[in-house]
């Protein structure tokens, strides 16, 4: 009988080992583990190698757990047979006793501990688990192949690799922000950087009608005065028509002429080449163009090849770090919606920014700006004072010119009593 007791204790210990291993290894956060590997934390690399093949690891753990649980049930039945004379009583007693013991000491207890000390236990378990996988390699390979076949028959996707997706990374950043491990400002910047890959550049471009440019046959003094008056560091250069941009001037090039004067230089000689991209390209794509050609300004065209706007490096940077100070050194004033009362915004205000300020998704229309939303709803050009109600937000046209809506009042529609 003592032999059965010792065997049962050993089997319960093995059951606890396999159960806690399952939780310890398979609930490890891959990002945290990768960080520990980079920091050369003892045991982290060994653990990382084990979970690189999660199906094989799981097959080995489940194989071991089922074997020891079955053996524990058999030993428990044999032990109960010696303690009780009635066969039926012995089986019932063995079933109840082994179930309670396995549940408490082989499942609940070990898994609870593994949840609290996952990485610490996985470091301890890494060597014996690697040995167990090696010993049962033929069986685990067969089980792994069988599981793949079943997944294929069921039409389930075979997850390839452990690479974290952009959506998962966004969730991780928000969780870090909520936990306090990532500052709100840094979280906003990280999320802004991720959004560069799925936002079109037309959302942040300077529209064609707002572009300040200069004709190529003008003088450099006129160009310098124009840049100084508007506080710009660079302006496009066009030939004959504003839509035909052939280059751009940078203020540093004009300053260099003062340091190293040339005899009667022209705008054409000083201007830098300009590059074009589709207005439907992602912001990340336009940033790649800027890096590839070492340029700070890219012109954008629509589907017909007509110039629709431009974007600068500062426009892209602002999407990541927030509003910058203007190039003249003064702060740009921009209305922000507090969610209470009536605020005034420009017609060019992006709906995605306004949605963030209001906590209401206004991007469900075929438009990028507040003016675009009003035009989408009315299907015509509005008069001053006209209003549009969209998703509980009232937009009132305060000012306009012949071609665009310039100023809009935004307020929440009062709740019905």
Give this prediction's pTM.
0.54
Give start and end residues of each alpha helix (H) in 155-308.
166-179, 184-195, 220-230, 251-259, 267-270, 283-293
pLDDT at 166: 67
* Distance of alpha carbon 29 from alpha carbon 33, whole angstroms: 6
pLDDT winner (highest mean) among 271-280, 352-361, 402-411: 271-280
What are 192-208's pLDDT values in tens digits? 777 788 888 888 888 88
CATH for the 342-412 domain, from 1.10.10.60, 3.10.20.30, 3.30.465.10, 3.40.50.150:
3.30.465.10
pLDDT at 97: 75
Distance CA 273, CA 260 (A): 21
What does the alpha-carbon distance between residue 45 and residue 51 come to, in Å, rounded to a whole number? 10
Across 211-238, average pLDDT: 90
Question: Interhelix angle for 118-135 vs 54-83, to 10°?
Answer: 90
**pLDDT(36) > 50:** yes
Partners of 407 in the β-ladder: 346, 399
CATH of domain 201-321: 3.10.580.10
Q: How far is CA 51 from the centre of its chain?
A: 24
For the stretch 58-100, pLDDT in tens is 888 888 888 888 888 788 777 777 766 655 666 676 677 777 8
Q: Percentages helix, strand, coil for the chain, rounded to the nearest 5?
A: 55, 15, 30
For residue 240, the surrounding DSSP H or E stretch is none
pLDDT at 50 over 50: yes
If you average pLDDT over residues 102-123, what whole number do you get?
84
């Amino acid at each position: 009988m003592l032999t059965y007791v010792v065997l049962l204790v050993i089997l319960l210990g093995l059951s606890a080992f396999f159960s806690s291993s399952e939780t310890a290894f398979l609930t490890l956060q891959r990002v945290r583990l990768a960080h520990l590997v980079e920091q050369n934390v003892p045991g982290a690399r060994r653990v990382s190698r084990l979970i690189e093949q999660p199906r094989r690891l799981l097959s080995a753990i489940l194989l071991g757990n089922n074997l020891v649980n079955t053996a524990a049930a058999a030993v428990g039945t044999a032990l109960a047979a010696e303690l009780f004379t009635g066969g039926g009583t012995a089986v019932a007693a063995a079933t109840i006793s082994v179930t309670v013991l396995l549940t408490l000491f082989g499942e609940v207890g070990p898994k609870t501990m593994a949840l609290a000390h996952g990485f610490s236990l996985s470091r301890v378990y890494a060597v014996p688990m690697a040995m167990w996988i090696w010993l049962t390699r033929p069986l685990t390979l067969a089980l792994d192949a069988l599981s793949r076949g079943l997944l294929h028959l069921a039409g389930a996707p075979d997850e390839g690799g452990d690479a974290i997706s952009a959506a998962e990374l966004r969730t991780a950043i928000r969780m870090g922000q909520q936990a306090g491990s990532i500052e709100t400002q840094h979280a906003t910047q990280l999320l802004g950087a991720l959004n560069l890959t799925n936002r079109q550049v037309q959302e942040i471009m300077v529209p064609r009608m707002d572009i300040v440019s200069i004709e190529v046959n003008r003088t450099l003094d006129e160009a310098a005065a124009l840049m100084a008056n508007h506080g710009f560091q660079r302006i496009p250069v066009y030939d004959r028509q504003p839509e035909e941009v052939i280059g751009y001037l940078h203020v540093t090039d004009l300053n260099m002429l003062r340091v190293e004067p040339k005899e009667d230089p022209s705008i054409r000689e000083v201007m830098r080449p300009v590059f074009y991209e589709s207005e439907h390209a992602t912001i990340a794509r336009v940033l790649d163009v800027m890096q590839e050609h070492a340029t700070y300004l890219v012109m954008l065209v629509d589907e017909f090849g007509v110039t629709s706007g431009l974007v600068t490096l500062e426009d892209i940077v602002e999407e990541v770090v927030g509003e910058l100070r203007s190039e003249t050194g003064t702060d740009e004033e921009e209305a922000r919606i507090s969610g209470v009362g009536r605020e005034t915004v420009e017609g060019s205000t992006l709906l995605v920014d306004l949605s963030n300020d209001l906590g209401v998704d206004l991007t469900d229309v075929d438009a990028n700006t507040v003016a675009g939303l009003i035009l989408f709803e009315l299907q015509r050009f509005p008069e001053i004072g006209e209003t549009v109600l969209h998703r509980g937000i009232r937009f009132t046209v305060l000012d306009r010119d012949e071609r665009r809506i310039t100023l809009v009042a935004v307020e929440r529609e009062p709740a019905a009593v």
